[in-house]
Amino acid sequence: MGIPSNDVLTGVYGEDAARAAERLGALAARFDELFGVGDPEFFTASGRTEIIGNHTDHNGGKILAASITMDSIGAAERTDDGIVTIWSEGYPEAIVVDTGNIDKIAHGGGSTTLVAGMLEATVKRGFKIGGFNAVCSSEVIPSAGVSSSASFEMLVCEMINHLYNDDAIERADYARIGQYAENVWWDKASGLMDQMACAVGGTILLDFSDGVKYERVDFGFDELGCDLVIVNTGKGHADLSAEYSSVPNEMHDVAAALGVKNLCESSEDAVLSNLVGLREKCGDRAVLRALHYFEECARVEAAEAAINAGDKAAVLDIITASGRSSWEWLQNAVVPGMPEEQPIPMALALTQLYLRRIGSGVCRLHGGGFAGVIMCVLPKAETAGYVDYMASYFGRENVYLTNIRQTGAACLGRA
């Protein structure tokens, strides 16, 4: 079994096409080993970076986000038995879901539950499902804020779309399918940003005030002469569901006290006009988080205006402001009640010291927060030095050079 052509891979992976070919070749061999020689097609779905817009999607806010060069890949072939079988690299057992008996699968954690939820959501949204065999592999850092789960979800959505729906499912439906699986089957209060940024490709401006609206925008760090470096602090967030859920829940509490469902239906002025009562009813942290929401949405709008005006460098300053607000107002840099563990502030402090010495670059907390990763954007000439510097504290295996890629979820085809 062959792999997609070099032209196809170069269009997605650029200078990394040769390494992508090696990864896909290993995946093809694994498919033959598990399922026998077949004729599968190959798929990809990226990880994502959140540039500006930390924790705004769940309240109808705005986000500037992008697909990144870390991705999940898969090889899949349609079957006639209605059974979905997915082997993922690094996992001892396959995900197996009978599409005719989805209701027999218990809700809860785990990849099988996630896939079952996605299949159910696909049907609920009026699309077709069926059996297929697949093998998957991922370079998206797990449990670290670059959306490894969403990348896998969008990979599976791309398979279902291509194999059974003639590529008719829109990216916004992909996101809803992934969110449904997490909300209903995992009981996880996730938004839609992760899925959209993994699925669409390039840099996108997301607006969740009325459903899911997005537009691609002309922005990348390469054109500013910069690299994007992700530092994994070594603290995963797999057991921090309560902390993550507290952010949207507290924002919703403030919205409810203002007489609306989501904060997008109210305003910062309304919060300030009712500040005394909101503090008494919802607590100070909830009010600060609501204020962060409005200021963060305004920062996304300011970044869009700067990009449209051709002042793309101004986005870097806005990233800094976003990071400070996440740390100070949103308060998702430290796990409450665990002052002895502060990996995010430690990584940010070390990075700020480095950037001060070189006189350029920006950094911020990345993703859901509390643990996981930070991001740093700095001149390409300084990247190697920064990688060495952070590797000395966190290990080279936890410092990742990445950048924005233009392809999100896609079918790469066959040989």
Q: For residue 142, is pLDDT > 80?
A: no
Per-residue confidence band for 372, with pLDDT thresholds at 50, 70 and 90: confident
Rounded-to-integer distance, Cα 167 and Cα 184, Å: 25
Q: For residue 274, is pLDDT > 60?
A: yes
Better-predicted residue by pLDDT, 140 or 1? 140
% of the chain exceeding 70 in pLDDT: 97
pLDDT for 121: 98
Helical H runs in 181-283? 193-200, 241-257, 268-273, 275-282
Q: CATH no. for residue 22?
A: 3.30.230.10
Domain that residue 131 falls in: 6-218+405-413
% of the chain exceeding 90 in pLDDT: 82
Per-residue confidence band for 162, with pLDDT thresholds at 50, 70 and 90: very high
User: Is 270 domain-assigned?
Assistant: no
Rounded-to-integer distance, Cα 405 and Cα 198, Å: 10
pLDDT tens, position by position, 183-200: 999 887 777 888 999 999
- Give phi and psi for 228, each to the nearest 5: -105, 125
Pairing of strands 62-78, 41-52: antiparallel
User: Is 282 domain-assigned?
Assistant: no
pLDDT tens, position by position, 298-346: 999 999 999 999 999 999 999 999 999 999 999 999 988 888 889 999 9
Region of poorest pLDDT, from 28-32, 106-110, 226-230, 387-391: 106-110
Rounded-to-integer distance, Cα 163 and Cα 178, Å: 18
Whether the Cβ atoms of residue 131 and residue 81 lie closer than 8 Å to each other: yes
pLDDT tens, position by position, 34-80: 999 889 999 999 999 999 999 998 899 999 999 999 999 999 999 99
User: Is 351 domain-assigned?
Assistant: no
Pairing of strands 132-138, 83-88: parallel
Q: For residue 359, is pLDDT > 80?
A: yes
What per-residue string of b and e applies to 268-307 under the rule 16 or more CB within 10 Å gives b? eebbeebeeebeeebeebbbbbbbbbbbbbebbebbbebb
Residues in the chain: 415
User: Is 83 domain-assigned?
Assistant: yes
pLDDT tens, position by position, 221-244: 999 999 999 999 876 545 777 888
User: Is 333 domain-assigned?
Assistant: no
Query: What are the C-alpha distances in Å from 360 to residues 227, 306, 311, 333, 383?
Result: 12, 19, 17, 23, 11
Whether the Cβ atoms of residue 184 and residue 125 lie closer than 8 Å to each other: no
Q: For residue 181, is pLDDT > 70?
A: yes
Total-model pTM? 0.88
Q: If you ran DSSP here, which 8-state letter would residue 148 be given?
A: H
User: Is 372 domain-assigned?
Assistant: no
Whether the Cβ atoms of residue 371 and residue 231 lie closer than 8 Å to each other: no
Burial of 143 (0-12, 13-18, 19+ CB in 10 A): middle
Task: Compute how many other C-beta atoms are within 10 angstroms of the C-beta atom of residue 397.
Answer: 9
- Sheet containing strand 226-232, strands side by side: 362-366, 373-379, 226-232, 399-402
pLDDT for 144: 58
User: Is 225 domain-assigned?
Assistant: no
Rounded-to-integer distance, Cα 276 and Cα 222, Å: 46
Distance of CA 411 to the CA centre of its chain: 19
Taking all residues of the chain, what is their mean pLDDT, rounded to a whole number?
A: 93
Query: What are the C-alpha distances in Å from 210 to residues 8, 54, 57, 60, 327?
Result: 36, 19, 11, 7, 28
Split into its structural domains, the chain has a count of 1
User: Is 211 domain-assigned?
Assistant: yes
